[in-house]
Structure 1
Amino acid sequence: MSQQKLRILQVLRAPVGGLFRHVLDLTEGLSARGHEIGIVVDSLSSDALTDQKLAPIAGRATLGIHRLPMPRVAGSGDLTTPFHIHGLARKLGIDVIHGHGAKGGLNARLGRLATPRAALYTPHGGMLHYAPQSRSGKVFRAIERALLPLTDAVIFESAFARDAYIRTITQPRCPHPVVHNGLAEAEFIPVASNADAADFLFVGELRDLKGVDVLIEAFADLTRPDGTLPSLMLVGDGPDRARYAQMLEARNLADRVTMPGARPARSMFPTGRGMVVPSRAESLPYVVLEATAAGLPVIATDVGGVKEIFGPTAGSLVAAGDVESLRKAMQAFLDQPDRAAEEARKRLDFVRPRFSLDVMTEAIESLYRQAIARR
């Protein structure tokens, strides 16, 4: 006898970044299994670009896309939106409310009050991005502790995020497993580099948190084995773009560095021979997963859950913010491309069975059913 199909409400504030990518993928996977999905997003920041971002999910969200006020920090929407979600869940006959990020988690769990519905929460960093001793950090952590009795499971995308939550908030009494983000099978199709590909490729937000300044400093002193100078592709946009352009000019690097603006990561993989992810902080970055799945060699810093992706190759991770360590790793890539390719193959073999969309969806669906059974 087949299992009951579920009616699920996914709640998030803004359709951006890895959090939104996760919700997109999860909705795709759950919908393919016959479940019905509704989406709740913030109405305060909605615009034409928001509609464009939500378009890929609209066909799978058979229970509709609903907009309710979710202020970024604090506002009246924090008082009214949980009541609206409560009513929406009752109207749609929802079985599970799954909140993503700090505000999604707040509204999902308050919205299930006095109902038999299951409520699950995935932080995606969320309040963990705030320093524990900061005013905002203290407030968000206090709220999170208060919400735990309303939580049927906390799902972490990395062991790093789980450990940080336990260390800075508390040990949840409800189930709190790690379920890694997953990729669709098509994303494991190898990508070949173009004949004119740059030696190094960066894809991400152009800001110091992503370590772009460190990357530029490390790149400045590199040389190919034949004595020629390497090239770099900086894909993305961000608040520090103009300053990075000035850095490139000041160091006479502008003619070897291309900055094409923001582009989808996979579409740019053919433009680089090796990916560099020099971040100062991350949780479980999709770009490392995507590049690994596509077969690209990856040079990355030892931050967040990156070592969970690198697995048996974690020894090659470099210290965050360390120009010399990054320079040595990039020079080794230029000097020993065969070794870098072999490491990339080993990493791919590790990632493929552990970070698939099917594995992720199966695990989260199972948690939904367990939560319902316990209520």
Structure 2
Amino acid sequence: MLKKLIFSILNLAQKVKRIMTKNKRKILYIITQTEWGGAQKYVFDLATHLTEEFDITVATGTDGSSRELLDKLASAGIKNFTFKHLKRDISLWHDILAVLEIAKFLRQNDFDIVHLNSTKSGVIGALAAWWNRIQSKIIYTAHGWTFLEPLHFYKHWLYLMMEKISAQLRDYTIVLSEKEKQIALQYGTAKPNAISVIANGLDLANLQFFTKEEARQKLNLDQNQIIIGTIANLYKTKGLKYLLEATKELNAKLLIIGEGPERKNLEEKTKQEILTDKIILAGSIKEAANLLPAFDIFVLPSVKEGFPYTLLEAMAAGLPIIATNVGAITEILENQKTGLIVPPADLQTLAEAIASFIKNPEQARQLGASAKETVKKFDLAITVEKTKNIY
């Protein structure tokens, strides 16, 4: 009798769940790459925090040095799908097939909202939706503007034209900073009456760090060595070659956590400069932010950024921070108050800033403490609520 009652209750619960899921509005997030980075964290955070109210699917391309996003989505029980022709680099053949592939998927699934992320998905996804004449609300989050990267003229022009055309096919654009909004309005890459600034946020209540001693043990680091560190995918836009140069004369070790196509160039540079005992390329490490206390100084030397999560995480860890004046960084850090801000690709100024923290540990500690207090305004709950209001 009891068994029958339990079975009936479970059966009823499943029916209720099916009804509730059926009545939920459906969201499709599309993002090009599967390796873990800022845009992937953004999608994952929204998907996992909105799953109670929406029926969520996340679709990706096949590019990426790891499948970390897909693994995290699977662990969280979020539906995911792969578009085999969606690639990061421009390829006429794959891009045409990607439009058709995504268009077919949109026809087969009645999504209420399609939320595109990063340049390639933003363009290809918008074209696919236009091709289908679908009624879904098309939203795009720009994680930095690719046409501002150091590119050949023709690529700069091509990416800009792609953004301008696809902007007319989208219903709404989200940018991560006021600076990015002004760029969008200046270049016409968003509709002036359909754009909002929504900053990235951290789930501060659940963010946990190892102690400095534990983090260094896990990374096999000397407990007494000065460690300069960063967490970044190994792309040219991350400016890591400048960080290598800036630290080579200092009495400190450089630790870079991350993976990507620039690894070979960085390895060759460390060998040529005979810096293999001073520079550690640790590769990709899951939940790398937990290890931030291993660093004495955090440096973000990017030449192009959006709104970097890793900077927020370094602030939450209370680290002294040096970052370049790109993207939203000046809207996150205040120079000389919560960190040091230097020009991008300026080797000498970067080296001087790092040296100043080493010589003045008390100043470094005070700036780190101020950053830890300031980061509280970048809360994930605010990001989710503002995004939901646009949906």
Q: Is 1:219 aligned to residue 247 of structure 2?
A: yes
Matched residue of 1:352: which SS? helix
Aligned to 1:69: 85
Letter paired with 1:39: V
**Aligned pairs for 1:223-234 within 5 A:** 229-234=251-256
Q: CA deviation at 1:306?
A: 1.2
Aligned to 2:57: 38
**Aligned pairs for 1:22-61 within 5 A:** 22-31=42-51, 33-43=52-62, 45=63, 49-50=66-67, 53-60=69-76
**Aligned pairs for 1:1-375 within 5 A:** 5-16=24-35, 17-31=37-51, 33-43=52-62, 45=63, 49-50=66-67, 53-60=69-76, 62-71=78-87, 72-113=89-130, 114-125=133-144, 127-130=146-149, 134-170=153-189, 172-186=191-205, 188-189=207-208, 191-194=210-213, 195-196=223-224, 198-206=226-234, 209-222=237-250, 229-237=251-259, 238-249=263-274, 253-264=275-286, 265-311=288-334, 313=337, 316-353=340-377, 355-368=378-391
Cα distance in 2, alignment partners of residues 254 and 83 from structure 1: 47
Q: CA deviation at 1:291?
A: 1.0
Cα distance in 1, alignment partners of residues 225 and 381 from structure 2: 32
Q: CA deviation at 1:365?
A: 1.1
- Against the structure 1 CA distance between its residues 168 and 132, is the aligned structure 2 distance closer, same or farther, given a 3 Å change threshold? farther
Cα distance in 1, alignment partners of residues 96 and 241 from structure 2: 41
Q: CA deviation at 1:15?
A: 1.6
Aligned to 1:372: none
Matched residue of 1:121: which SS? strand
Cα distance in 2, alignment partners of residues 126 and 316 from structure 1: 24
Q: CA deviation at 1:257?
A: 3.7
Query: What are the Cα deviations for residues 102-136 of structure 1, in whole angstroms up to 9, with x where unaligned?
Result: 22112332333323210011122354345688223
Letter paired with 1:231: K
- Against the structure 1 CA distance between its residues 281 and 112, is the aligned structure 2 distance closer, same or farther, given a 3 Å change threshold? closer
**TM-score normalised by L of structure 1:** 0.82
Cα distance in 1, alignment partners of residues 240 and 151 from structure 2: 26
Query: What are the Cα deviations for residues 210-253 of structure 1, in whole angstroms up to 9, with x where unaligned?
Result: 3333333332444xxxxxx333323344232223312541xxx5
Runs (5+) with no aligned partner, structure 2: 1-19, 214-222
Matched residue of 1:282: which SS? coil
Cα distance in 2, alignment partners of residues 296 and 93 from structure 1: 46
Greater length-normalized contact order (CA 8 Å, ≥ 6 residues apart): 1
Runs (5+) with no aligned partner, structure 1: 223-228, 369-375
Query: What are the Cα deviations for residues 32-81 of structure 1, in whole angstroms up to 9, with x where unaligned?
Result: x43111122225x489x43x541111254655424342243133443444
Query: What are the Cα deviations for residues 139-177 of structure 1, in whole angstroms up to 9, with x where unaligned?
Result: 332233222332111111223332333333455234211
Cα distance in 2, alignment partners of residues 63 and 254 from structure 1: 43
Cα distance in 2, alignment partners of residues 11 and 297 from structure 1: 35
Contact 1:236 1:263 in 2 (8 A): yes
Q: CA deviation at 1:273?
A: 1.5
- Against the structure 1 CA distance between its residues 173 and 202, is the aligned structure 2 distance closer, same or farther, given a 3 Å change threshold? closer
Contact 2:40 2:69 in 1 (8 A): no
Matched residue of 2:322: which SS? strand
Contact 2:70 2:80 in 1 (8 A): no
Contact 1:197 1:271 in 2 (8 A): no
Contact 2:30 2:58 in 1 (8 A): yes
Contact 2:239 2:302 in 1 (8 A): yes
Matched residue of 1:120: which SS? strand
Query: What percent of counterpart residues are identical?
Result: 24
Equivalenced residue count is 352
Cα distance in 1, alignment partners of residues 101 and 233 from structure 2: 34
